Amino acid sequence: MSNPDDVRFRVRPGAPKQRGAAFINKVLRETNKAGAKLGKTIGKASQRPGSRLGRGHVAARFAGASLMPNARRVTIKARLVNLSKAGLRSTAAHLRYIEREGVDRQGGPGHAYGTTTDAADTAAFEERGREDRHQFRFIVSPEDAEQLDDLRTYTRHLMARIESDMGTRLEWVAVDHWNTDNPHTHVVLRGKDDTGKDLIISRDYIAEGMRRRAAELATEWLGPRTELEIQRAMQCEVDQERWTGLDRTLQREVKDGLVLPETLAAPRLLRQRQMLIGRLQHLQRMGLATEKQPGMWAIHAVAESTLRAMGERGDIIRTMQRAMSGRQRELAVFQPGEDGRAIVGRVVGKGLADELHDKGYLIVDGIDGKAHYVALPSLSELEQYPTGAVVEVKGSVDVRVADRNITALAVDGVYRTDHHLAVAQGQATPNRDPREVVAAHVRRLEALRRAGIVEREAEGVWRVPGDLAERGRQYDAQRLGGGVAVDLKSHLTIERQARVIGSTWLDQRLISSGRGLGDLGFGAEVKAALQQRVDFLAEQGLAEQRGQRVILAPNLLATLRGRELAKAAQDIAAKTGLEHRPVSDGRHVAGIYRRSVVLVSGRFAVLDDSIGFSLVPWKGAIEPWLGHHLAATVRGNQVSWELGRQLGTAV
């Protein structure tokens, strides 16, 4: 007879249906706990929280296992984009950026391609990904990209290996860029797998696995780096004024803040020893390292940040020099809010300073005789600033004059439009309509009301806080990315502005007597263009020059704008058969927003009421409402838009 204990402790496995997901999840939890405890012995990767989460976490451990120190090097920058936060136009804007003019080998526009096509439909790709939660964007930069026969084929092979590691088909488009010293490829990857589920990629794979796969492929194609190639690459880094690979090596070898003689003599650094010593000597000359004793070096704590800043500034200077094309100017980097000054000038260059995050820049030839580098917030539309256009750049964090005025005019925290109108009428000038002054302040209050900063108690009556100026500044900084605000003064060059019918930036400078113009560079060119404009206006009967004095016609800007609008309306009426309905000051107009037209005097929206049409000053806020019924109230060249019949939102 069997022992009762045998029966008591007999293993009785349940049926398969009893060992379901709950059991598996329990096993996985316990396994993860054990893995965390064993982290010290099995490697750092397993210690990272969430290292096993997502596709590719296994491949991340084994990718690049065969890579030797002489393997080809590839840099990969990655960005995970939350599309709900990035905005509806984020993907389209990014694809437009990477396909921009001047990035291919011949200096033409970039061409997107995919797995099987050399002409990918980026619009269709963007449309398919509109409901995606997220998106991946990569920049793949092989160190020896110029030696590769075809970056497209290389990218396709790399993405095929990544697909194998992920265990799913991937939908992506890519664009090769040859406009820099380091040719590279931009890859945009949808955040969905082949089953339609969210694509989750292990962060270990993004951080290391992908780069190792790229290095494996480059090494297979080009062979390992020769000893001569390695030595030449390191030699070039010795006297660089930027953060280099030699600096990263020294950073890893620092102990207690020092690089010791025995460290530099270690066998693993034998090949680099002379270059490392040379780099330390160069850092000493730069004031970033000190030789405490013979062979013992201390690298200053600010070395990395200083070198990175110097590298960035060197890139900026080279960019500015290329944009100025030999024109002699003092170079300056615009610092928002540094002294509260704005700069005005012409756009002579533009591009992307950070291609991964879509951060652009402008090079502005200022009227002060200097060339200014202007860093733009992310996703700024570079297309709206044509080369040769006139812009005004100021810090978005500056306190607005309108906010100061509203605070000063408020009585017991209440601002009244009738009180402001009475004050403005007492300060009126021929070129300043008091009603328009008040209307501009009301538009600002409406924007602040939507932000929850002020409260409208009744028509023309507003409750405003005592710290309105500061809260308004914070609102602008958040809305504009905290950097700079660029106001397009004219999309025309000053040469074209000199002889056109329409209200131009040159006319505004004439009214202000041309103050603030320098005697060098663009400032001198503007002075010459102003004289040409005076001659043209005299031909039109709108100006008279008496010696050094210029007499301008009353309401010059309104007259020029009216003439141009009349001509534009005549052309539209001839094409559409609709009657033009001129917009008078203070009139309320309504209709369907059909399109916009860009004129010398600015951009105007075409409102169609089925019988006739009106030309109304355009604002960016109405563009999503194309094809919808809108209403507006016009005062001078300014407009207050009502977006939607039910909503009644004013902008």
Task: Report yes or no: 445 and 640 within 8 Å, Cβ to Cβ.
Answer: no
Q: What is the rounded distance in angstroms from the CA atom of residue 528 to the CA atom of residue 645?
A: 49
Which ranges constitute the DSSP H helices of 142-272? 151-166, 203-204, 210-222, 227-237, 245-253, 261-264
Q: What is the rounded distance in angstroms from the CA atom of residue 343 to the CA atom of residue 516?
A: 10
- In the chain, which stretches have pLDDT less than 50? 1-2, 4, 6-7, 9-11, 13-20, 24, 27-28, 31, 33-47, 645-650
How wide is the angle at C-alpha 369 spanned by C-alphas 368 and 370, nearest 5°? 95
* The pLDDT value given to residue 539: 92
The 10 Å CB-count burial string (b at 16+, else e) for 157-179 is ebbebbeebbeeebbbbbbbbbe
Structure tokens at 242: 């930027």
Burial of 362 (0-12, 13-18, 19+ CB in 10 A): buried
Sign of CA dihedral 421, 425, 428, 433: positive
471: part of which helix (H) or strand (E)?
A: helix 468-479
* The pLDDT value given to residue 357: 79
* The pLDDT value given to residue 637: 61
Secondary structure of 359-405 as H, E, C letters: EEEEEEEECCCEEEEEEEEECCCHHHCCCCCEEEEEECCCCCHHHHH
Rounded to 5 degrees, φ, ψ at 167 are: 75, 30
What type of residue sits at position 159?
A: M
Structure tokens at 301: 């704590």
Q: Enumerate residues 6+ apart whose C-beta is below 8 A from 564.
A: 501, 502, 503, 599, 600, 601
Task: Report yes or no: 491 and 335 within 8 Å, Cβ to Cβ.
Answer: no
Q: Where do the DSSP E strands lie in 553-611?
A: 579-580, 588-599, 602-608
3-state helix, strand, coil in the chain (%, to 5): 40, 25, 35
Q: What is the rounded distance in angstroms from the CA atom of residue 321 to the CA atom of residue 319?
A: 6
Q: What is the rounded distance in angstroms from the CA atom of residue 59 to the CA atom of residue 63?
A: 6
Q: What is the rounded distance in angstroms from the CA atom of residue 364 to the CA atom of residue 382?
A: 13
* The pLDDT value given to residue 19: 43
* The pLDDT value given to residue 600: 93
Residues making up the chain, counted from first to last: 651
* The pLDDT value given to residue 264: 86
What type of residue sits at position 504?
A: T
Q: Where do the DSSP E strands lie in 379-483?
A: 390-395, 414-416, 455-458, 461-463
* The pLDDT value given to residue 428: 65
